[in-house]
Amino acid sequence: MHSPDDDWSTRHSVLTNARRAAALVNVLTPDPPRPDAVAEVLTAYGERAPVELSPDDVAAMRAAAVLLREVFAADHVDRAAEALNRLLLEHTGPLRLTSHGGGTPWHPHLDSDDDAPWSEWFLASSCMALTVLLWEGQRPPGALCASPRCSDVFVTRGGGPARRYCSRRCATRERVAAHRRSGVGTREVSDGRAGR
Ligand SMILES: [Zn+2]
- 33 CA to middle of ligand 1, Å? 18
Residue 9's pLDDT is: 72
Q: Which residues neighbour 43 within 8 Å (Cβ) at sequence distance 6 or greater?
A: 49, 50, 51
* Peptide bond between residue 50 and the one before it cis (omega within 30 degrees of 0): yes
Enumerate residue ranges in the chain where pLDDT < 70. 1-6, 158-160, 184-196
**Which range of residues forms the domain containing residue 185?**
166-196
Angle between helices 55-73 and 35-44 (to 10 degrees): 70
pLDDT at 188: 46
CA of 153 to the centre of ligand 1 (A): 8
Whether 87 and 179 share a structural domain:
no
Same domain, 59 and 124: yes
67 Cα: distance to centroid of ligand 1 (angstroms): 20
d(CA 9, CA 11): 6
Q: What is the pTM of this model?
A: 0.86
Residues 72 and 122 in one domain: yes
Residue 173 and residue 120 in one domain: no
- Segment (H or E) for 142: strand 142-144
In degrees, to the nearest 5, what angle opens at C-alpha 68 toward C-alphas 173 and 129?
95
Output the pLDDT for position 6. Answer: 58
- How close is the Cα of 192 to the center of ligand 1, in Å? 35
What does the alpha-carbon distance between residue 92 and residue 26 come to, in Å, rounded to a whole number? Answer: 21
On whether both 117 and 42 belong to a single domain, the answer is yes
Q: How confident is the model at residue 184, as a pLDDT?
A: 67
| Domain identity same for 60 and 135 | yes
Q: Number of folded domains in the chain?
A: 2
**CATH number of the domain bearing residue 128:** 1.10.3300.10
Q: How many residues does the chain have?
A: 196
Please indicate, yes or no, whether residues 114 and 39 belong to a single structural domain of this protein. yes
Instruction: Report the separation in Å between the CA atom of 5 and the middle of ligand 1, taken as the mean of its atom positions.
Output: 34
pLDDT at 195: 38
Compute the distance from residue 22 Cα to the ligand 1 centre, in Å.
Answer: 12
171 and 120 in a common domain: no
- Report helix, strand or coil for 73: helix
Report how far ligand 1's centroid is from the alpha carbon of 95 (Å). Answer: 33
What is the distance in A from the centroid of ligand 1 to the CA of 34? Answer: 19
- Asked if 101 and 192 sit in the same domain, the reply is no
